Chains A and B, each alone.
Chain A
Amino acid sequence: MTDADGLRARVAEFLAIHDHTAMDRLEFLRARFDAGLAWVHYPVGLGGLGAPRALQRVVDDAFVAAGAPDNDPRRIAIGLGMAAPTILRHGTDAQRRRFLRPLWTGEQVWCQLFSEPGAGSDLAAVATRAGRDGDGWIVTGQKVWTSQAHAAQRAILLARTDPDVPKHAGLTYFLLDMTAPGVEVRPLRQLTGDAEFNEVFLTDVRIPDENRLGAVGEGWRVAQTTLMNERVAIGGGALPREGGMIGVLARTWRERPELRTPGLHDALIRLWVAAEANRLTGERLRQSLVAGHPGPEGSAAKLAYARVNQQISALELELLGGEGLRHDDWSMRRESSVDFYGRTPTYRYLRAKGNSIEGGTSEILRNIIAERVLGLPTEPRVDKDVPWKDLPK
């Protein structure tokens, strides 16, 4: 049975046979995958049971309650959130069997090689070239804004296989071995001083054709699966009231009455309302997903989340006045995930600036909402029917 009670029973049965205190962590995670208890909405044989996605929480809670080790989902967020759904949707049976298990167990960390210096919002303009070479491909180019590239064994890669057709038609999607010769990773330092991200230089890197995902020339369509999942992931998880950045600001307000002014109070309450409206919008989106009706609210959530985070962190600095000017550390940290709360307010203010750029700028999101949700006509395009090689660069 794959209802909630049935899943709890399956977990109990699994734990009765597999004693996590006596087993190697990786062996335990592999066994959990093979039992279909990794991601229950995935198909049988690929870590799942074909159960409703909403029931995953039941399984996760049962494993947490038993004190079992998890797969450290924050470390492998790109694999779980972006690579896996794309491989599931567009991969061959052989690719699914080969890649999904080590992805889920965390044996292989994945990163995303999409953006380039010349292809940001206009992602379809990627210039990294993949040329035929016998039964494989030779790839050369430069990628940027790659989280986790320094820790990754695998990458999802968008590359140009045909420069003679319009840009959207000449792309192909690959699964790259990051340990292959010719892959060079360099830290990319951002305005916070940290280097969460990397530049990745690809020089004559060989990819076997069996690691192509989807047909040649279908890369743009395949990448849409990845990008939609990215925006869902960035919109944020379930939070309690005041669970986000507004909670930090509210706490400071309550603890420091001497800082209060009427003007700051008005701004604070407006932001409290905005943050709570965002939270409820996210909750409604989750309820829609659980009910099997994914709505377009994810774009709204990401857009609003970026705006509110920036406004809250800016107000926090103003509330603190001179104290707000003290920054903790400009050294180049190699953080693998963002922690807004362990740092000074200056860090929150600066890091939040990335929220409206990463994962699709707020401007691009507004275009998407206007065209795909509201159905407004596209702008006239000068690049649509022109071969990529003839476009101004």
Chain B
Amino acid sequence: MIDLLYTEVEDELRAGVRAMLSDRSPARRVLARVEGDEPYDPTVWRALGAEMGLAGLAVPESRGGAGASWREVAVVCEELGRAVTPAPYLGSAVIATGVLLALDDPLLAELAGGARTAALAVPFGTAPGSAARLAAAEDGVVSGEVRGVADAATANVLLVPATDGLYAVEAVHAARRPVVSLDLTRPLCDVTLDAAPGRRLAAGERATAAIEAGLRAGAAMLASEQLGVAEWCLGSTVDYLKVRHQFGRPVGSFQAIKHRLADVWVGVTQARAVARYAAGCLAAGDPDAPIATALAQAHCGPVAVTAAEECVQLHGGIGFTWEHPAHLYLKRAKADAIALGTADRHRARLASLVDLPVGAAPH
């Protein structure tokens, strides 16, 4: 059985990431930056990548990484979710890295070191197994438009699924238009390629498998991010309701409120087990990884959304203001629930993986 607990090393990693984020990317700073021109804070990315070496956690040392595994990446994702950190970690250190791990290209080492970032040029809502080839390629030149790509605005390189394979396109050759996005802490952009010069990384089945691996890693790690989002929402709501008084009592002493928070806690407790299982399966190369990933996305997305919605509601008026960070979590939770496939898409995937087909058999 997969180990569903956290190791001591993982606990230390978590403490280090949390300390760095509370120092360099506290909620008030995140909130102050979201309407600025820069989508991401370069000092935070430098800390995560170049200083702490977290961009290459899933990459073997022989290929320029830290030689840890997806389990440790998942812990980082939890903390980035808990702090709604604006950083291209999911896009570059998870999805693009997941793609490149399946291939043999020196770009992997560049991403692992954190010196450069990459993004897979697919719409952020793309579920594993459904990546469309949006660009046409001819003589190493790629053309097409991809709407709503995450982590592409700051990426140095785009990994572009094209008709005859997977291409690496330097971002300077792409037109990137920022999208006014629901999630202020992970803004999307539309990408247009007009005869952009590309380097073909793989073709045919190999390209398809690499794209699939990247999206699956993304979906599995996103579950841990969702867990972190949900934990912050629950914790901050509980803290607030212990001190907020109405009718001469702490609001958190009313049973109607307690029961809602207990239900959120149950969901979060389950999400931790489910997300750990997905991370463990991915790290071990376990054949159950596709089921574990679909399960994690079917469960954790809705848990994070519920936790964020309860956070807003139970904070009352203050939860509806711009100055309180609850809305950043609501927006992240809802965007994450759609990212890499909705819970419904993952349930449909599960149905086929576990042999519970939707339709009546043909007579």
Taking a contact as CB atoms under 8 Å apart, the answer to whether A300 and B253 are in contact is: no
Indicate if A357 sits at the interface (CB-CB under 8 A).
no
A265 to B252, CA, bound (A): 38
Taking a contact as CB atoms under 8 Å apart, the answer to whether A277 and B273 are in contact is: yes
Taking a contact as CB atoms under 8 Å apart, the answer to whether A300 and B238 are in contact is: no
Indicate if B52 sits at the interface (CB-CB under 8 A).
no
A23 to B269, CA, bound (A): 48
A134 to B263, CA, bound (A): 50
Taking a contact as CB atoms under 8 Å apart, the answer to whether A278 and B270 are in contact is: yes
Number of A-B contacts (CB under 8 A): 125
Indicate if A304 sits at the interface (CB-CB under 8 A).
yes
- Contact residues in B for A288 (Cβ distance below 8 Å): 5
Q: Is the interface of B mostly helix, strand, loop or mixed?
A: helix
Taking a contact as CB atoms under 8 Å apart, the answer to whether A277 and B351 are in contact is: no
Indicate if B356 sits at the interface (CB-CB under 8 A).
yes
Interface size on A, residues (CB 8 A): 44
- Contact residues in B for A277 (Cβ distance below 8 Å): 270-271, 273-274, 295, 299
Task: Pick the interface stretch among A3-11, A66-74, A165-173, A369-377.
Answer: A369-377
A380 to B247, CA, bound (A): 12
- Contact residues in A for B269 (Cβ distance below 8 Å): 281, 297, 300
A207 to B264, CA, bound (A): 46
Task: Pick the interface stretch among A80-88, A121-129, A255-263.
Answer: A255-263
Task: Pick the interface stretch among B54-62, B179-187, B210-218, B254-262.
Answer: B254-262
Nearest chain A CB to B246's CB is how many angstroms away?
13
Taking a contact as CB atoms under 8 Å apart, the answer to whether A265 and B242 are in contact is: no
- Contact residues in A for B155 (Cβ distance below 8 Å): none
Indicate if A272 sits at the interface (CB-CB under 8 A).
yes
Residues of chain B in range 230-266 having any CB-CB distance to chain A below 8 Å: 234, 238, 241-242, 249-250, 252-255, 257-259, 261-263, 265-266
Taking a contact as CB atoms under 8 Å apart, the answer to whether B265 and A269 are in contact is: no
A304 to B354, CA, bound (A): 22
Taking a contact as CB atoms under 8 Å apart, the answer to whether B253 and A280 are in contact is: no
- Contact residues in B for A276 (Cβ distance below 8 Å): 274, 295
Indicate if B4 sits at the interface (CB-CB under 8 A).
yes
Q: Given A284-B4, A287-B3, are A375 and B242 also a contact pair (CB < 8 Å)?
A: yes
Taking a contact as CB atoms under 8 Å apart, the answer to whether B299 and A265 are in contact is: no
Taking a contact as CB atoms under 8 Å apart, the answer to whether B356 and A254 are in contact is: yes
- Contact residues in A for B259 (Cβ distance below 8 Å): 363, 366-367, 370
Taking a contact as CB atoms under 8 Å apart, the answer to whether A291 and B5 are in contact is: yes
Indicate if B360 sits at the interface (CB-CB under 8 A).
yes
Indicate if A328 sits at the interface (CB-CB under 8 A).
no
Q: Which residue of B lies closest to A288 (CB)?
A: B5
Contact with B along A232-269 (1 / 0, CB 8 A): 00000000000000000010011001101010011011
Indicate if B276 sits at the interface (CB-CB under 8 A).
yes
Taking a contact as CB atoms under 8 Å apart, the answer to whether A250 and B295 are in contact is: no
A245 to B19, CA, bound (A): 44
A233 to B276, CA, bound (A): 24
Nearest chain A CB to B314's CB is how many angstroms away?
11
Residues of chain A in range 272-301 having any CB-CB distance to chain B below 8 Å: 272-274, 276-278, 280-281, 283-284, 287-288, 291, 297, 300
Indicate if B361 sits at the interface (CB-CB under 8 A).
yes
Contact with B along A38-55 (1 / 0, CB 8 A): 000000000000000000
Taking a contact as CB atoms under 8 Å apart, the answer to whether B252 and A376 are in contact is: yes
A341 to B243, CA, bound (A): 48
Q: Which residue of A lies closest to B358 (CB)?
A: A265
A281 to B300, CA, bound (A): 13
Taking a contact as CB atoms under 8 Å apart, the answer to whether B266 and A300 are in contact is: yes
**Could you list which residues of chain A lie within 8 angstroms of chain B, going by C-beta atoms?**
250, 253-254, 257-258, 260, 262, 265-266, 268-270, 272-274, 276-278, 280-281, 283-284, 287-288, 291, 297, 300, 303-304, 363, 365-367, 369-371, 373-380
Q: List 21 interface pairs A-B (beta carbons < 8 Å), by A numbering.
A: A253-B356, A260-B359, A269-B298, A272-B356, A276-B274, A277-B270, A277-B271, A277-B273, A281-B274, A283-B4, A284-B272, A287-B1, A366-B258, A366-B259, A366-B263, A369-B265, A369-B266, A370-B252, A370-B259, A374-B234, A375-B242
Task: List 8 other contacts, CB 8 Å, given A278-B270, A288-B5, A377-B249.
Answer: A269-B351, A277-B273, A284-B276, A291-B5, A297-B269, A366-B263, A374-B265, A377-B253
